[in-house]
Amino acid sequence: MIQVTKKDGKESTENLLRRFNRKVQQSGVVAIVKGGQYFDKPLSKRDRRSKAIIRQERKAIKVKKLKLGQK
């Protein structure tokens, strides 16, 4: 369980919430819950690996286009 306490009693509520949200994101709890939200068909290791490679290639192309657009 993630807990956050106020520092010196002078910390604002906004800062406290910001620290809490950061800790939740870093712990990966949200990703785990979202991952179990829907049923996924079991894929073979080869299929998962090939889909991951395709995702990485698409992301690299997208980043390359963004970099070319900035110049």
Helix (H, G, I), strand (E, B) or coil at 49: helix
Most confident of the ranges 2-11, 34-43, 60-69 = 60-69
- Same domain? For 18 and 29 the reply is yes
Could you list the residue range(s) of the whole structural domain that residue 67 is in?
A: 41-71
Task: Indicate the pTM of the whole model.
Answer: 0.50
**pLDDT, position 63:** 92
Q: 55 and 32 in one domain? A: no
Token look-up 């800062």 returns 15
Whether residue 36 sits in one domain with residue 2: yes
The residues, ordered by sequence, that sit 6+ positions from 29 with a Cβ below 8 Å of its Cβ are 2
Look at residue 8 in the predicted model and tell me its pLDDT. 82
CA distances (Å), origin 5, targets 13, 23, 24, 29, 44: 11, 12, 14, 19, 44
Residue 7 predicted with pLDDT over 90? no
Question: Residue 71: what pLDDT?
Answer: 63
